[in-house]
Chains A and B, each alone.
Chain A
Amino acid sequence: MEDSPSMDDHQDSSLVVGVGLCDSAPLLWRLQDLKTARRLGLVGALLGSLPRTPRQNQRLGRPLLLLPEEEQLLRDEEAAGALPGPNQDVGGAELRRQFEEDQQRSFEEQSVLALEDRKSALRRAMTSSHTGSESGAEAVDEALRGRLEALDHSFSFPQSAMAVQLSTARAGLSYCPEAWAHLQASWPIREQNNPRSDARYQVFRDLRGRGFYLTSAGKFGGDFLVYPGDPLRFHAHFIAVCLTLDESICLLDVLAVARLGSNVKKTVLLCSPAPDGGVCYTSLQWSGMV
């Protein structure tokens, strides 16, 4: 595992996206990887809880799950590198020492902040009681001032009250954020060889090449949802259904998907990769009775 790289390597390494495998699903963990992927036009899907607001499902956090087509695209453009796995325990003792140092430092910072916090709270209590009723104010005031002074001497910030940071991305168990900044763009070939997935990949690549953003469309009965721009800014225009040219579909299936498309106000695209490398598109729109 490499250590911190030189500056000119940093430029190259930022284009290589580190992908981790979990249960044979490709996941992106590091923030710069997510940015890179988005810049390449790959949307993916966020899976994790958002740390600040964990109890909701509208906005999720890292990791980002890639579509198999997105993973294949990264591999073809040599922009994906494998993150080291969880069982690589490199430099164990060194890491532990470093971890403990970091913890100690964090503890000291936090205890200072906690003391400041306490003091300002007491001061606030004093001033508010001062502006309040006059009669018992003097005694309260004295008590508070006494406590304030005692605080400086005997404040102890318990270890158990310390805020601990859980890192999302693994930093090699080393707390070095620059670890794996430089990744070799090597990603093992993991494709499934069936004509359906080939067709899907061809269509994906073609549409991505034309500038569309694509996400998965299982709940719309299709293969991809096609957005004219970033999904955060636009609604999807098309539902893409990928078929091979020689595959025959039942008319009832065509009817069903056309009906569905018209109900959700999207155009259905039947996409088939042509043997010459291009992709042939047919759109279905419900025009009603003539």
Chain B
Amino acid sequence: MCICQQGNVQVFYRDLPLSIQDGYERFLSSATVSLQQYQVFGHLKRLGYVVHRFDPSSEPSSYAKQLNLPQSRDRAGRQLKRKRSPSPTATCSYTEAQVESTIEKMEEDKCSLEGDDAKKLAASPDIQTATTSGADEGRSWWMTDDLGASDKELHHSPTSGSSRWDFSSIPFPDVGSSERHPSCLAPPEPSLLPGDLTVGVCDIASWRRKINLRMVKMSSKEQKREKDKRRRRWDVNKDREVRRCRNWAEYHELLARRQRKRKGRPAHLWNREVTPLHDPKQPISTGELLDKISVIKSTHLLEGASRLKGSEQWRICFNVYQPDTVVDFKKSNPGKPYSRMCVCSFDGPVPDLRAIKLLAFQSGDIPVVFAVVDHGDISFYTFKDFQLPIDVFP
């Protein structure tokens, strides 16, 4: 059609020459070569390019190309995307929250000091049941006696759930205090005593004599010093978490936890199913560390493209060869084209990633140019593979 227009060829149809209009109407249709494709073809031909039809089956596959030339694939650079994970420093607090929410809450960890301003968090049911069972074991010899008796509820709250002792109702004898002067202690509850043991009143007068009940006389300076020491001394009983411990086992656990945290291996990071990606104590290069923590893996355009099936909408139409290579150009052996054309229009959809991958795969290592036709104007667009720079010094 184009050379017909350029005045080089006259086409005869039924012994009569075809006009250009005839040529257009007969030869150009969406089944063969559409008007838009012809427009692009004509445009490029007028500029001097050599344009041929694209035949996907005549393209050597990438494997065939590999046999000829070793493909040098540069390592795809990794993209930088730091995950927002808190570094396990000592200032980060640990929470006693549920196991499931620990992972989500890692970013929301608020730093808290070991002090009064620590947030009061509910104890997790796991720990609760653990300590309940522990406490139960400690008291089992006691409780088995009382399981049947429901009226002996003096010393502990109902056995169903809570395990708190009501210390206000348990009188511990204070032998050393000077306020009370009991000369004897009341005998304990006979139900609490094993077997047939009976205990009478205990006379503690002799022991009180052995206790030094004299007040220490301190000078004013010493008194001030004692007061300051007392003020500055951290009373372990003031720690809320310590107060929450119900028995020695829990307290030891608390101490161990704090110890681990100090050493940089807090339980909430290392004792769960999801542990940090990297132990900060292990040496690692920056590049490897970036690889470890990267969320988005970088990819190149042809990845996964071989699995894509062809589509009707997006096809490569032409091979374009540059005009100055006409010297080596032979119709039987054109060589590598300069680019390949895919014709579309502004009314149609923008090519999505799938279409771009498909066309890039079909084209091999030659860039695909999209010729967008708009009622007589043609704009050319192409997509380039690009790698973000990484700031890593090996």
Contacts and interface: CB of A to CB of B under 8 A. Distances in A.
Pair from one complex: yes
Interface of A: 20-25, 27, 29, 44-49, 51, 54-57, 60, 62-63, 65, 67, 85-86, 89, 92, 95-96, 99, 164, 166-171, 173, 215-216, 218-219
B10 A166 contact: yes
Given A54-B5, A54-B6, A171 B19 contact: yes
Nearest to A86: B25
Interface stretch (B118-126, B215-223, B354-362, B368-376): B368-376
Interface in B1-48: 2, 4-7, 10, 14-17, 19-22, 24-26, 28-30, 34-35, 39, 42-43, 46-48
Contacts of B42: 47-49
Nearest to A169: B21
Interface of B: 2, 4-7, 10, 14-17, 19-22, 24-26, 28-30, 34-35, 39, 42-43, 46-48, 345-346, 372, 374-377, 379
Nearest to A95: B16
Contacts of B30: 23-24
A28 B223 CA distance: 113
A89 B26 CA distance: 13
A85 B29 CA distance: 14
Contacts of B7: 51, 54, 166
B5 A23 contact: no
Nearest to A223: B346
Given A20-B25, A86-B22, A56 B46 contact: yes
B6 A25 contact: no
B374 A218 contact: yes
Contact of A169 (B19, B34, B35): B19
B16 A22 contact: no
B21 A96 contact: no
Contacts of B6: 49, 54-55
Contacts of A27: 21, 24
Given A22-B28, A23-B34, A216 B377 contact: yes
Given A22-B35, A27-B24, A218-B374, A48 B5 contact: yes
A91 to B, nearest CB: 11
A24 B34 CA distance: 10
Nearest to B4: A166
A22 B39 CA distance: 12
Contacts of A216: 374-377
A23 B35 CA distance: 6
A20 B28 CA distance: 13
Given A92-B14, A166-B4, A173-B16, A55 B22 contact: no
Given A63-B24, A167-B17, 16 more contacts: A20-B25, A21-B25, A22-B25, A24-B30, A29-B21, A48-B42, A51-B5, A54-B5, A86-B21, A99-B16, A166-B19, A168-B20, A169-B20, A173-B19, A218-B372, A218-B374
Contact of A86 (B4, B5, B26, B376): B26
A25 B374 CA distance: 12
Contacts of A63: 20-21, 24
Nearest to A219: B379
A169 B23 CA distance: 10
Contacts of A20: 21, 24-25
Given A22-B24, A29-B21, A89 B14 contact: yes
A49 to B, nearest CB: 4
Contacts of B372: 218-219
B21 A45 contact: no
A23 B39 CA distance: 12
For A57, A95, A166, the residue with the greatest tally of chain B CB atoms inside 10 Å of its CB is A166
B375 A67 contact: yes
B21 A168 contact: yes
Contacts of A86: 21-22, 25-26
A49 B1 CA distance: 11
Contacts of A219: 346, 372, 374, 377, 379
Contacts of B43: 57
Contacts of B34: 23
Contact of B10 (A51, A54, A95, A164): A164
Contacts of B2: 49
A57 B46 contact: yes
Contacts of A25: 35
B144 to A, nearest CB: 73
Nearest to A99: B16
B17 A99 contact: yes
B292 to A, nearest CB: 36
Given A164-B10, A169-B19, A170-B22, A218 B377 contact: yes
Contacts of A96: 15-16
Contact of A49 (B22, B46, B376): B46
